[in-house]
Structure 1
Amino acid sequence: MKYLLETERLRLREFTLADTAFIVELLNTPGWLQFIGDRNVRTDEQAVNYLQNGPLKSYADNGYGLSLVEKIDDSKAIGMCGILRRETLEHPDIGFAFLPEYNGKGYAYEIASATLTYAKDKLHIPKVSAITVPDNARSIQLLEKLGLAFVKPIRLPHSEEDLLLYCN
């Protein structure tokens, strides 16, 4: 298994089609549904489609994308983190999500901080943005702790949802 990066407690690796069960679990957690949105991924087949048209396509098109976060001590998949390229944003953006039982343990900061360093040093992406819904206080707190600053409220094309744009 090739890892993109490793921190004290975590490793980041590209998703594979073997990760479908984890994708179904993560994308249906209350936090994902509330703050990111329902992606209608309930079956392994839908998870394969999500992976092929999301992370795997992004790796092929951009050389980076959302990746699986696992704990080093037991190789348990606990979340995702990575850099996305959206045509609607000026700069690539960082995204992250974790299974609820791993929230509040510092994992998100640990891997997101390392991901920002990886984006700058390895991917040569000098500026990274982030978007979040206004009521996701934990995400906003993490973005600010990572050194990203609020820029302005935005709305992505074909969306009715107001978002907050952050940038480093």
Structure 2
Amino acid sequence: MIETDRLRLRELSLDDTEFVLELLNTPGWIRYIGDKNVRTEEQARDYLENGPIKSYRENGYGLSLVEEKDGKRAIGMCGILKRDSLENPDIGYAFLPEFNGRGYAYEIASATLAYARDQLHIPTICAITLTDNKRSIALMEKIGLKFRQKIYRKEDEEELLLYST
């Protein structure tokens, strides 16, 4: 779907159940994205079927798997989401902890943003993050998103920062 120098982004499938189970239970995912209560392979399959796979079918886009090109190791997720609680689609990303700090998030997020703009023709992309997620804030700014406002969504327990193109 999207390729960069080091990474490939592809649609998630039910074959990615074990990876999803691992990623959704990392401390970073739980703290900054939220505990999705995915603890079994069956729950991971359900997450895939009713999340990314459903989004591909309904919206033509969704969270996708990020893998290293030179080993095809799954290292994270990145993609465009359409949430009922936001006016515009938003970009989301998460990586296994051992892949943080290598520039992967910037590499794939900037390519995903370009794809959303140029191929999907989405005029405005936003992003949300917790106020204390300094790494995510820095990445949003680095890929060209601008802070717009603080928001509260009923599904979140904390204040969020809203950025957009």
Shorter chain as denominator, the TM-score bin is over 0.9
Which residue of structure 2 lines up, in the alignment, with residue 91 of structure 1? 88
CA distance in 2, matches of 1:7, 1:157: 36
- TM-score (normalised: structure 1): 0.96
Structure 1, gaps ≥5 residues long? none
SS in 1 for 2:150: strand
What CA deviation, in whole Å up to 9, does each residue of 1:25-60 have, x standing for no partner? 000111111111110111110000000110001001
Identity of aligned residues (%): 66
Which amino acid is 1:102 matched to?
F
Instruction: Give the Cα–Cα distance (whole angstroms) in 1 for the partners of residues 157 and 136 of structure 2.
Output: 20
- Identify the residue that residue 6 of structure 1 maps to in structure 2: 3
Shift of 1:160: 2.9
> 1:29 and 2:26 equivalent?
yes
Output one character per residue of 1:90-136: Cα deviation in whole Å (capped at 9) or x when no partner.
11000000000000000000000000000011100011000000010
Aligned to 1:143: 140
Partner-residue secondary structure (3-state), 2:15: helix
CA positional deviation for 1:75:
0.1
Q: Tell me which residue corresponds to 1:57.
A: 54
The reply to whether residue 101 of structure 1 matches residue 103 of structure 2 is no
Q: How many residues align structurally?
A: 165
1:43 corresponds in structure 2 to: 40
Whole-angstrom CA distance in 2 between matches of 1:38 and 1:84: 18
- For structure 2, the residue ranges without an aligned partner over 5 or more in a row are none
Q: Which contiguous aligned blocks of 4+ residues in structure 1 show a shift greater than 3 angstroms?
A: none
Q: Quick check: 1:113 aligned with 2:113?
A: no
Q: State yes or no: 1:130 paired with 2:127.
A: yes
Cα RMSD for the two superposed structures: 0.7
* Partner AA of 2:18 in structure 1: A
